Structure 1
């Protein structure tokens, strides 16, 4: 790890309406994605962002739905992050985003709630929940409509970045 990477925060604490979720960020294996995520955190981008899709035994997803295509557009089209580490798999409690880099400032993030190997070629993992798995599971259990949208709003209130936890 170069000195620039070692100076970056290694953890993000997502304060949600249900409680806090602490995520270790994979600075070495997903540097471009982590850099973009950190920049957006510094700008308060995720403050107030809603979890838009909650699919039991699959994922909880937050993002800029007005700036993104539908969730099923988790494809390999468009401009991609150049340094993708495909060795990171979609086990339970992994933090990830689309492989498609968007220049419009949109960013979606998801946390898997179970191992999901069919996402390995579609989405990129850039972190892992290290504390707050119970909060992820609580969010996963909310009532949703037929499109997997929560019937009651669940927001990321803020994101705090830390060197260590």
Structure 2
């Protein structure tokens, strides 16, 4: 049992019981300047509360057609505003919203922010993460220990690299930002062999 599980007690157990069984990854279809699919390995052993939140919203379809509202070249692409970030809404409010669920307490760890790492967005208050998250384009050591790491891109980083950039220091994307057209929960095992490898192993 990790220190996160031990410290959270019964409240954490109740949350984990509601998480989709076998949910160890998500698959994001992206449309816009970027076209393709991103596959993400989720770190449920490191950030179980955050993984539970992400997978719950994905299962409910809340992330479908949510835009990448803040994208800073050389840094990160942020999305997940399920309240104000849907395609067709007034983008001036994107980034201010959240889900109908309570905020998630921080689950900081020693995992570094490296290219393709997913972190949970929050305000200045550590325990204010809710639905928004970001993917870093490059290593971002200044974020280490300051934001919860909950996943890593394992396929489709080329799609992430193509996401439409915003303008200015804040990286706000105007016009028609790229969007997540669908987010699916996967029973993903990064250690599992490829289908061809599995067939060869079975025939030996």
Classify the TM-score, shorter chain. 0.7 to 0.9
What TM-score do you get using the length of structure 1 for normalisation? 0.79
- The 5 A counterparts of 1:43-54 are 43-54=60-71
What TM-score do you get using the length of structure 2 for normalisation? 0.65
Identify if the C-alpha distance between structure 1 residues 7 and 80 changes in structure 2 by more than 3 Å, giving closer, same or farther.
closer
Partner SS, residue 158 of structure 2 = helix
Structure having the higher strand fraction is 1
Partner SS, residue 113 of structure 2 = coil
Partner SS, residue 63 of structure 2 = coil
Distance between the aligned counterparts of 1:61 and 1:67, measured in 2? 10
2:115 matched residue in structure 1: 92
Contact 2:108–2:147 under 8 Å retained in 1 = no
Q: Where does the alignment leave 5 or more consecutive residues of structure 2 unmatched?
A: 6-15, 85-92, 98-102, 190-204
2:89 matched residue in structure 1: none
Larger RCO (alpha carbons 8 Å, 6+ apart): 1
- Please give the per-residue CA displacement for 1:9-61, whole angstroms capped at 9, x wherever unaligned: 11100101021000000010110100111111111111010001111111000
1:15 matched residue in structure 2: 29
| Bigger Rg over Cα | 2
- Please give the per-residue CA displacement for 1:141-163, whole angstroms capped at 9, x wherever unaligned: x3533242234321100111111
- The 5 A counterparts of 1:7-156 are 7-17=21-31, 18-64=35-81, 66=93, 69=96, 81=105, 84-98=107-121, 99-101=126-128, 106-139=130-163, 142-146=164-168, 147-151=170-174, 152-156=176-180
Residues matched between the structures, number: 151
Q: Where does the alignment leave 5 or more consecutive residues of structure 1 unmatched?
A: 71-78
2:11 matched residue in structure 1: none
